[in-house]
């Protein structure tokens, strides 16, 4: 059965989370940031001093974490074991290790279960890497949002500078990290980053954020005109 959901997949720094949030606000849907969930698992493992190469230990850490996405005053927050970890998961150590953690089957199974649960409650905009291909294959609208790799690195660099993250990294370092993660996310064995056959490709390299949002809302209206 088709689901009242918009799946937005694509590589790091394509603007998925900003766009997904705005589209969710506009449609009064819930925004689900699945990358944040894998980051939470990574934080849990790092805090437990688990070696990220130790699949069994990382999986046990992820399975024991109580992860919840909560919207507070319109802000999407993530809690783990009762603690607001929305900022902690954006640190460079989590970012450097998340591709290792999210490749484990047990970790992915635990997160996908939660993700599908969120989608049962009504309209959602969910962003990630495998939403259209695996998590919500019945989503009414699937978008694959991409942009030129250097442009994505540049955007991430500006965002990090603004937030005071990774201040020891140059712009070239950030671009290299974005490219490294794309490579790991696209070549991993389980549910790699891939455009679903029925996903609409949007290249945001020379589009503004409002332009991308308008394009997605227009696609949604088109798709749902005769279904909902």
Judged by the rule CB under 6 A, the positions of this chain that interact with ligand DC are 12, 34-36, 38-39, 98-99, 102, 128-131, 181, 185
Give the 3-state secondary structure percentages of the chain, helix then strand then coil, rounded to 5: 50, 20, 30
Q: Are 209 and 18 in contact (CB under 8 A)?
A: yes
Cβ 79 to ligand DC, closest distance in Å? 16
Angle at 51 between CA 46 and CA 56, to 5 degrees: 105
Q: Which is nearer to ligand DC, 53 or 222 (CB)?
A: 53
Q: Which two tokens stand for residue 143?
A: 């978008």
Cβ 225 to ligand DC, closest distance in Å? 28
Using CA atoms, how far residue 182 sits from 11, 91, 99, 127, in Å, is 6, 18, 9, 15
Q: Which is nearer to ligand DC, 86 or 99 (CB)?
A: 99
Q: Are 121 and 30 in contact (CB under 8 A)?
A: yes
Cβ 28 to ligand DC, closest distance in Å? 23
Cβ 26 to ligand DC, closest distance in Å? 21
Of 23, 21, 11, 55, which Cα lies nearest the Cα of 141? Answer: 23
Cβ 51 to ligand DC, closest distance in Å? 18
Q: Which is nearer to ligand DC, 28 or 127 (CB)?
A: 127
Q: Which is nearer to ligand DC, 99 or 216 (CB)?
A: 99
Cβ 124 to ligand DC, closest distance in Å? 13
Q: Which is nearer to ligand DC, 4 or 42 (CB)?
A: 42
Give me the helices (H) in the chain, please.
16-27, 34-47, 55-64, 92-101, 105-120, 149-163, 171-187, 209-224
Q: Which is nearer to ligand DC, 102 or 143 (CB)?
A: 102
Backbone angle region of 169, left / alpha / beta, with phi > 0 → left and psi within -120 to 50 → alpha: beta
């Amino acid at each position: 059965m088709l689901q009242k959901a918009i799946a937005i997949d694509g590589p790091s720094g394509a603007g998925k989370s900003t766009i997904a949030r705005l589209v969710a606000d506009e449609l009064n849907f819930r925004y689900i940031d699945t990358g944040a969930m894998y980051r939470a698992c990574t934080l849990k493992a790092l805090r437990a001093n688990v070696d990220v190469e130790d699949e069994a230990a990382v999986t046990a850490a992820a399975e024991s974490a109580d992860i919840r996405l909560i919207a507070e005053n319109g802000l999407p927050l993530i809690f783990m074991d009762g603690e607001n970890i929305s900022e902690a998961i954006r640190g460079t150590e989590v970012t450097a290790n998340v591709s290792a953690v999210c490749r484990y089957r047990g970790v992915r199974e635990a997160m996908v279960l939660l993700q599908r649960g969120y989608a049962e409650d009504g309209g959602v905009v969910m962003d990630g890497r495998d939403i259209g291909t695996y998590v919500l294959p019945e989503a009414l609208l699937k978008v694959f949002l991409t942009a030129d790799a250097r442009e994505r690195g540049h955007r991430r660099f500006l965002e990090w500078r603004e937030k005071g993250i990774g201040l020891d990294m140059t712009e070239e370092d950030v671009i290299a990290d974005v490219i490294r993660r794309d490579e790991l996310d696209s070549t991993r064995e389980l549910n790699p980053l891939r455009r679903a056959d029925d996903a609409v490709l949007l290249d945001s390299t020379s589009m503004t954020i409002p332009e991308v949002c308008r394009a997605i809302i227009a696609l949604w209206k088109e798709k749902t005109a005769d279904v909902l």
